[in-house]
Every structure is written in C-alpha cells, then in structure tokens.
Amino acid sequence: MGLNVVIAASEMLPFAKTGGLADVIGALPGALEGEGIEVTIFMPLYREVAAGGFDINATGITVNVAIGNRVIAVELYKGRHDKAVIYYLRCDEYFDRSYLYGTDEAAYFDNIERFTLFSRGVIEAIMRLGINPDLIHCNDWQTGLIPVYMKTLYSSAFSNTAAFFTIHNMAYQGVFPASSFDVTGLPYSAFNPEALEYWGQINLLKSGIVYSDIVTTVSESYSREIQTTEDFGRGLEGVLAERNDRLFGILNGVDYDIWNPQTDKHIAANYSNKDLKGKAVCKKALIKEYGLKIRQGEPLIGIISRLTDQKGFDIMAEGMPAVMKLGVGVVVLGSGERKYQDLMTKLAKTYKGRFGVKIGFDNALSHRIEAGADFFLMPSRFEPCGLNQFYSLKYGTIPIVRATGGLDDSISDYKGGKGNGFKFKRYSAKALTRKVAEAVELFKDKKAIKALRIKAMTEDYSWKRSAVRYHELYKLAISKAQG
Ligand code: ADP
C-alpha cells in the first residue's frame, strides 16, 4: 500500500498565492500521486479562496480549537486539486481578510493566533476525520507548531506519524514575543532554547525544525548555505548545523501544465522550441504594453519579483546606468516594500521609454513577461530555490542570475556554449553589469542566441524527479519516527 500523507501549507495555487510556496504546494501533490502516495491537503479558507469561484463545499464538520483560554469553532470545507482532497479551515475572524499575512507596511498583529489556530486546527481535523497519516508534511513557519503538537500534547494520537518540515525561506521565521506563548497551549517545557525559544522569544520556524524527523529545504546549495553564516541562516545556522544529519535539499520543479509557451493562454502567441516565431510576437506585444520606445531588435530584460532586500534590487539599481548604456530595454513587475517601489518608479522616470515598471501582483502579466523578454534577471542576495529561472528556460528567455541557492544549482554559465544561462558570483553591481554585457554580446549573434534558447527550452525540470526524492525522504522520516 502507498503512503498516506498530509500536507499543511498556508498558501497553494490556484487558491491563494504570495510567493513560490503556492506554486510548490499546487504542483507537488500531483507529482506525489504519480509515486502512489495518497495526499490530503490542509490550508486556511482565506477571503480570496472563498471569493474565487472554486468548487469548495461545507462538510458540516466542525472542530473546536483551543487558542489561549478561548475555544474557537473551525468549520471544515472540502475541495479537490488533481486527485488530492483539500480541507480548508474556516474561521472568519482570522482568515476573512484582504491579505494572507498583512499589508505591505505591516504583518497582522495577531498572526500568532491565526497560525496557531491553523496548526492546531489541522491536528484536530486529522483526528476528527480519522485520516491516520503516515506522515505530516509541514511548510514554513505558519505550520511550525504542527510538529510540536505531534510530539507533545497530541503524542499518543501521532506516535506512528512522522513530522516532515520544508523550509522555503529562512528569512521568514514567525517570531513572536514570549507573552504569546500561552496562545499555543503547549507545555512550558517547550519554551527553552533546545526547543522553540529563540533569544527569549517564540520562533515558529525553529519549532518546525527542532521537532521534525526530517527537514528539507528547496535546493541543495541553500541547505548548505543556511548552516554557515547569519546572512543565510538568519540566526538559526547553529540549530541547522547541529541537525545536519537530517537536513536535506530538494530542488523544486515546474508545473508545465501552467508554464508552457505552447499552451499558455495568457500570451500573445504560442510557440515552441521547434518554431520560435510566436516569441517575437510576444515581445512586440510586451514592448507595447509597457509603452517602451525600444526597437524589436534590441535586447529586452524581464524582472518579476517580490520587492524585498532578498532579491538584489540595490545592486540592480546601482548597475543600471552601465546596463542601460548597453542599449537594453527593461520591464519590471513587482510588489512589496515601498522603498523598492519608489526606487523602481524613479528608474522608470530616469530611463523613460526604455525602463518600464508595473507595481502589483499580476499573474497573467508574469506569463507575458516570461514569453516576451529576451533575458530574465535574478540578481538575488540569497535564493532558496527560485522559480522564475525555470519558467524562463521553458520560455526561451535566458536567465541572468547570481550564483546562490537554487539559482546556482539550476543555471550554469554560458561560457562559449556550455551553459544554459548567465551566472555571476560576487554580489556587486559591477559583476552584474559585466554579466549583462556578456548576454547582450551573445544577443548580437542571432544564430548563437537562438541555439541557446532552443537548448534552454528543451531542458526538463518537471516535478517527477523531486517527487521521487520526497518519497525517499518520507520513508526515511517514517522509519525514524517509528524507530
Ligand atoms: P519567492 O517565493 O521568494 O517570491 P520564487 O521565485 O520561489 O520567489 O517564486 C515567486 C513566484 O511568484 C513566481 O511564480 C513568480 O512569478 C511569482 N511572482 C512574484 N512576484 C510577482 C508579481 N508581482 N506578480 C505576479 N507574480 C509574481
């Protein structure tokens, strides 16, 4: 019999997304089913999920979840994605809001309550529904309490169930004041530095790491980097290094049902590695959409990103005068921190007609950029995995990346025809500019750039390979939990 696995996550495509986590949770279950694994998913019923027109129905089942000294009734809703069953936890007080975690300015003040309710609600729901999973796969700090509940308050019900935790980004740890500890209802023994305490505070990411049988992150390089310095480990590098024997990296895959220029409904014309004509149509449409004044024959660089410190906008902005001198056009789609919104808007003014910016989160536009750009720039300071470099490859849009985390693992430098993109090492405007110059140089050689595009489009980063690896590590986690 195949494994019975529960996946808990705070976002998932097509229901709710702020970043790569949603892409992963939207695609991984389908690939796991290909491995013969039965998957049940749990996520919150946010306002945008309820309003999204999905086929989601009330089950009539309610679970009572203790939050501090309150007991809150959580209703279970049910839907499907591929073959997997999804349960949505409905608690309007916490999830019927405009955003998932907070506004651009600030996180919601009661996130500890919201995600304690979610985590404990998942545990209660699994028991109420009689699922009996072999393993619970938790993702990021929002689910970091689940492994603790499994190993403490609910240990008798979950003695044969493995706790598996995936870190999608160390930069978000869910840190809350010690005064919130009562919200969790956990025994005080859990509030110590060997467990979920972190310098006198509660750290939910740490809690997931410490209490799980196996911990993974989304690339091999990132799994090594986060054990080294604070830049990567964000204060948990020691905790991770200590658990080196149960920490693994599995590169994310791509959902080619969503990201495929041959079938993509969002783009001006479809194309494939056999016939690239449609890509030129997409480029023309993108130039027009952004109101740029560049010629079709000039190289166009795309950027789609959350606007945060992680993504390298400081070196990009510093390098822009030199990059623009190379005769390129740039289109940016981004949402996030105000200071970077302002920076992008300023660049658009300075390089009017050659540097286009749209602030906001726009899925259809992100497809049009992947299809219409010649190059895709990702100068990240750190990058757990990154997804846009994979999408770019598939769309024949050559990635220019910094060698960190998953970018380092998936992109190799062109170097006279060997690699699949352009890659620079040093986090500096100079290194970035030099690499863009190399890319622009290659762009002038029509034959060579076409050959590189075709090669990139032919590479396969589908989820199958990663699902095989998850399957192996699920089995290892179960043997540890039951051993
Ligand atoms: P992260 O999770 O750090 O944001 P990833 O590269 O792993 O980075 O995933 C980001 C995902 O979110 C990609 O699918 C990307 O296309 C998408 N994305 C990021 N910003 C935007 C935006 N402003 N509009 C539309 N999609 C976006």
Residue 258 domain flag: no
Instruction: Verify whether ligand 1 is closer than 6 Å to residue 255 (CB atom).
Output: no
Q: What pLDDT does 425 receive?
A: 98
Report how far residue 201's alpha carbon sits from residue 219's, in angstroms, rounded to the nearest whole number: 28
| pLDDT tens per residue, range 294-319 | 999 999 999 999 999 999 999 999 99
Instruction: Verify whether ligand 1 is closer than 6 Å to residue 387 (CB atom).
Output: yes
* Judgement on whether residues 363 and 375 belong to the same structural domain of the protein: yes
Alpha carbon nearest to ligand 1 atom 24, residue = 361
* Judgement on whether residues 60 and 171 belong to the same structural domain of the protein: yes
Question: Is pLDDT above 90 for 459?
Answer: yes
- Compute, in angstroms, the gap from residue 23 CA to the centroid of ligand 1: 9
Residues 253, 27 contacting (CB under 8 angstroms): yes
The ligand 1 atom at the shortest distance from the C-alpha of residue 336 is 23
The tokens for 51 are 């309003």
CB within 8 A of 60, min separation 6: which ones? Answer: none
Instruction: Verify whether ligand 1 is closer than 6 Å to residue 305 (CB atom).
Output: yes
Q: What pLDDT band is residue 161 in, cutting at 50, 70 and 90?
A: very high
Q: What pLDDT does 104 receive?
A: 80
* Judgement on whether residues 478 and 402 belong to the same structural domain of the protein: no
Q: How many domains does the chain have?
A: 2
Residue 271 domain flag: no
Q: What pLDDT does 30 receive?
A: 95
| pLDDT tens per residue, range 363-411 | 999 999 999 999 999 999 999 999 999 999 999 999 999 999 999 999 9
- Compute, in angstroms, the gap from residue 304 CA to the centroid of ligand 1: 7
Closest Cα partner for 97 from 44, 19, 54, 176? 44
Instruction: Verify whether ligand 1 is closer than 6 Å to residue 356 (CB atom).
Output: no
* Judgement on whether residues 285 and 244 belong to the same structural domain of the protein: no
* Judgement on whether residues 112 and 188 belong to the same structural domain of the protein: yes
Instruction: Verify whether ligand 1 is closer than 6 Å to residue 133 (CB atom).
Output: no
Report how far residue 174's alpha carbon sits from residue 201's, in angstroms, rounded to the nearest whole number: 10
Instruction: Verify whether ligand 1 is closer than 6 Å to residue 362 (CB atom).
Output: yes
Q: For the chain, give the mean pLDDT.
A: 97
H or E stretch including 96? none
* Judgement on whether residues 346 and 223 belong to the same structural domain of the protein: no
Question: Is pLDDT above 80 for 1?
Answer: no
* Judgement on whether residues 52 and 101 belong to the same structural domain of the protein: yes
Report how far residue 146's alpha carbon sits from residue 118's, in angstroms, rounded to the nearest whole number: 9
Q: What pLDDT does 317 receive?
A: 96
The ligand 1 atom at the shortest distance from the C-alpha of residue 388 is 6
Residue 259 domain flag: no
Amino acid in position 208: G
Looking only at the bridges linking them, the beta strands covering 201-203 and 197-198 are: antiparallel
Question: Is pLDDT above 90 for 352?
Answer: yes
Q: Which CATH number covers residue 152?
A: 3.40.50.2000
Q: What pLDDT band is residue 416 in, cutting at 50, 70 and 90?
A: confident
Question: Which of 167, 256, 366 most suits a substitution to test ligand 1, by most atoms within 8 Å of the C-beta?
Answer: 366
* Judgement on whether residues 377 and 249 belong to the same structural domain of the protein: no
Residues 323, 433 contacting (CB under 8 angstroms): yes
- Compute, in angstroms, the gap from residue 231 CA to the centroid of ligand 1: 21
- Compute, in angstroms, the gap from residue 188 CA to the centroid of ligand 1: 38
Q: What pLDDT does 83 receive?
A: 86
Instruction: Verify whether ligand 1 is closer than 6 Å to residue 23 (CB atom).
Output: yes
Instruction: Verify whether ligand 1 is closer than 6 Å to residue 219 (CB atom).
Output: no
Q: What is the mean pLDDT of residues 114-138?
A: 98
Q: What is the mean pLDDT of residues 425-448?
A: 98
* Judgement on whether residues 236 and 112 belong to the same structural domain of the protein: yes
Residue 419's domain spans which residues?
Answer: 277-460
Q: What pTM value is reported for the model?
A: 0.95
| pLDDT tens per residue, range 242-272 | 999 999 999 999 999 999 999 999 999 999 9
* Judgement on whether residues 358 and 235 belong to the same structural domain of the protein: no
Q: What pLDDT does 105 receive?
A: 84
Instruction: Verify whether ligand 1 is closer than 6 Å to residue 116 (CB atom).
Output: no
- Compute, in angstroms, the gap from residue 39 CA to the centroid of ligand 1: 25
